Chains A and B, each alone.
Chain A
Amino acid sequence: MSLLLNGLAASSGITIAPAHLLVESDLSITKQHTADKNHEVARLHDSFTLSKTELQQLYQHAHEKLGQRAAAIIDTQIAILDDPTLQTKIIDRINNHHDTAEWAVKKVEDYYLNVFERMNDNDYLHSRATALRDVTKRILSHLLNVPLPDPALLNQRAVFVAKNITPTDTAQFDRRYVAGIVTANGGRTSHFTIMSKTLSLPAVVGVRDATKIIHDGDMLIVDGIHGKVIVNPSNEEIEHYQLLAGEFAQEQQKWGALKDKQTVSADGRRFEVAANVGTFADIIDAQEEGAEGIGLLRTEFLYMNRDELPSEEQQFLAYKRFVSAMNQQRVVARTLDIGGDKQLGMVKLAHEDNPYLGFRAIRIGLARPEILRPQLRALLRSSVYGRLAIMFPMIATIEEFQQARAILDEEKERLVRAGYQVAKNIEVGMMLEIPAVAVMAEHFAKYVDFFSIGSNDLVQYLLAVDRGNQQVAYLYQELHPAVLRMVKQVIEAAHAEGKWVGMCGEMASNPLAVPLLMAMGLDEFSMSSSQILRVRSLIHQLSTRKLQPLVHRAINAETTAEVQKLVREYVPELKI
């Protein structure tokens, strides 16, 4: 009997392959001290030798199959293992404190993690702390005789099933063998989801108890389009999904031809499909996938893993790089958006019971001008190198927008007086995430140059649902008629004032939402780069005029399920 598990669709595509469980190893240490020092030192040496052999194999593997970037992560781990100082420190602990080898490793790891924590480190993705942790995990696995899960050692096509997948896990993937991913934790917008989209792997996340229900070797169908996992499917189910997977692959082939094309609907209306980016590497992906601009530049990366705020000069150099790389295509930079689920070491935020409703984003920016002002100055200075637009996150009231805008104008004037070049017509807009703003959109539209709908937060606030909480995640419904009504109202209000509207949440690339959004007249769709060509292809096939009755019926529907059914009925082009 097949078993259907529901989760959240995290990355498109369908895959059929056996399950491979990645079980986290239990590396807890029970014995901390011992009298037999020599024995411990010998054990330590053995564990280093074994770890090194493994890492060398992994290096070969990553180098040959994943390229230099993945191999570099392993290379650093080998250098750590070879470090004479590290070994000496561990042996000293064994000799002077009578530590067991594993306890000594743990203590020295703690020492370095402590040192790292106290200093600047903007290399957030493959940071030194991650590298060190991965090495000590491997050493401990040998000392404790507990094997580590090793994604790189997989040698046949399989679907990874895990509680969580870390960036280091993904760096060890063999693309030929990793057929898909199923995780028990994680929401649609978690870091991992974004990674799997970049790797274009079918993925379903938030599948409750996935690692308990699914066993190694179980046959799985992973439907990353609808967020379903079928365990031990019947022959009919396999045939059905093979057909769907084939159609999806055919579609994918067509997308390549659209890379350098503009996004135009079948009835000739022009749209902009842009990319969401958070690092400079993302810009390269965006260009490779044919982005027509950057709809969301997350500036948080400049602030991550460091002890002090980045200087105006550092920020200026970074923004200049982004803006000039996009030539004359628009780059919409969002000012610092922290708080909620995003914390920063250097900006100490008090614990809050309701961080999503608390001190975050522009609320921090307005209260702490020493953070906002240098950022705005740096952005303004970068504006002459391309086409920059600036937006403020989490605006709730017109006064907030006016205040933020006034600070921006003040800094602009100061810069000009000080002799800096600043572009003349920088568009200044805001994220639209708070339902109150949507209700008042006709008034806000008079003051802004554009809105960018942050659908992730808007849906969350509108349906009062925490998307990270698995027990209520099902209520996170982007196609809920209330969401659609709100979006429609915002677009109409903005257009009445001659302003444009973009969307930079996950909804903008949801294939069921795109037909509705384009028919409502959304001007700009911004998304992770891997989704761009799929959305452009869809828009090319559809006519906004013919979709008008669908919009009418969808906003008058009673439930999300009804909306989904309507979209499928009106848009047969959505085969899957």
Chain B
Amino acid sequence: MEKREFTITSETGIHARPATILVQAASKFASDVTLSYEGKSVNLKSIMGVMSLGVGQNAKVTISANGDDEKEALDTVAETMKKEGLTD
């Protein structure tokens, strides 16, 4: 299992738009991808889950991936977060 921590720096947090893009990115992989924040974990392939967490600015989140393509999955998600301005 691969696991990484991120700090969300964007002012608006993970709102509808970046949530859509993250879910689309995670859904390309076979691995299970999980987003955890303040003790709650959701499937990163579920936009309702991601939006329900209400991740705001300065939130510390953990993303983990489990499966054959876990490393690739996590790299892609990390890259997407940066590209969408969620992380620095």
The CA of A242 and the CA of B46, in the complex, are separated in Å by 52
Which residues of A lie under 8 Å from residue B56 when comparing CB positions?
120, 122
B1 adjacent to chain A (CB < 8 Å): no
Question: Which residues 22-54 in B have Cβ within 8 Å of A in the complex?
Answer: 23-24, 27, 43, 45-49, 51-52, 54
Q: A123-B16, A126-B16, A128-B16 are in contact. Are A80 and B54 (CB under 8 A)?
A: no
State whether A79 touches B13 (Cβ < 8 A): no
Cβ 8 A contact of A79, one of B11, B23, B43: B23
Question: How many positions in chain A have a CB within 8 Å of any CB in the partner chain?
Answer: 26
State whether A85 touches B48 (Cβ < 8 A): yes
Q: A317-B11, A318-B11 are in contact. Are A86 and B46 (CB under 8 A)?
A: yes
A121 adjacent to chain B (CB < 8 Å): yes
State whether A84 touches B16 (Cβ < 8 A): no
Q: A76-B47, A112-B52 are in contact. Are A120 and B13 (CB under 8 A)?
A: yes
A75 adjacent to chain B (CB < 8 Å): yes
B71 adjacent to chain A (CB < 8 Å): no
Contact with A along B54-72 (1 / 0, CB 8 A): 1011000000000000000
How many residue pairs at the A-B interface have CB separations less than 8 Å? Answer: 67
Which residues of A lie under 8 Å from residue B13 when comparing CB positions?
120, 122-123
Which residues of B lie under 8 Å from residue A115 when comparing CB positions?
52
The CA of A60 and the CA of B46, in the complex, are separated in Å by 23
Q: Looking across the interface, which residue of chain B has its beta carbon closest to that of A128?
A: B51
Q: Looking across the interface, which residue of chain A has its beta carbon closest to that of B22?
A: A79
State whether B15 touches A121 (Cβ < 8 A): yes
Cβ 8 A contact of A127, one of B16, B24, B45: B16
Contact with B along A76-102 (1 / 0, CB 8 A): 100110111110000000000000000
A119 adjacent to chain B (CB < 8 Å): yes
Q: Which among A86, A131, A314 has the highest number of chain B CB atoms within 10 Å? A: A131
Q: Chain B residues in contact with chain A, CB under 8 A?
A: 11-13, 15-17, 19-20, 23-24, 27, 43, 45-49, 51-52, 54, 56-57
Q: 5 A–B contact pairs at CB < 8 A? A: A83-B23, A85-B48, A116-B51, A122-B12, A128-B19
Besides A83-B46, A123-B12, 13 other CB < 8 A contacts?
A76-B19, A79-B20, A79-B23, A79-B24, A116-B52, A120-B54, A122-B13, A123-B13, A123-B15, A123-B16, A128-B16, A128-B19, A314-B57
Smallest CB-CB A-B distances: 3 pairs: A123-B15, A119-B54, A85-B46
